[in-house]
Amino acid sequence: MKRNDKAKQLYETTYKNGLNQKFYFSASAALHLAQLFENEGNKEKAEEFYKKTLALRDHDYQNSIDQKAKAGLGRLESK
């Protein structure tokens, strides 16, 4: 298994496991997934996970994580 595939699998697990908690882990995992998909050129999956990142509310580091997700969506729109 390639490293990116393993990373995506672990981030996906973290994202799902943290959905019902008020920690930043889910949002951070969704952001990292979006960035991996963006770097691979998978615009649809990147956009999906950037939007999932922004949908998560009331967690630590929300402003920072949201800002990065919005920047990612902006990059995708300009491509």
Residue 52 lies in a domain: yes
- Contacts for 24 with CB less than 8 Å, ≥ 6 apart: 59, 60, 61, 62, 65
55-77 confidence digits (pLDDT tens): 999 999 999 999 999 999 999 99
> What's the pLDDT score for residue 79?
77
pLDDT value of position 29: 98
Which of the four pLDDT bands, split at 50, 70 and 90, describes residue 1? Answer: low
In a domain, 19, yes or no: no
Residue 21 lies in a domain: no
- What is the count of structural domains for the chain? 1
2 band by pLDDT with thresholds 50, 70 and 90: confident
Higher-confidence residue: 16 or 22?
A: 16
C-alpha dist (Å) from residue 3 to 6, 9, 79: 5, 10, 26
Average pLDDT, the chain: 95
Whole domain around residue 31: which residue ranges?
A: 3-12+26-78
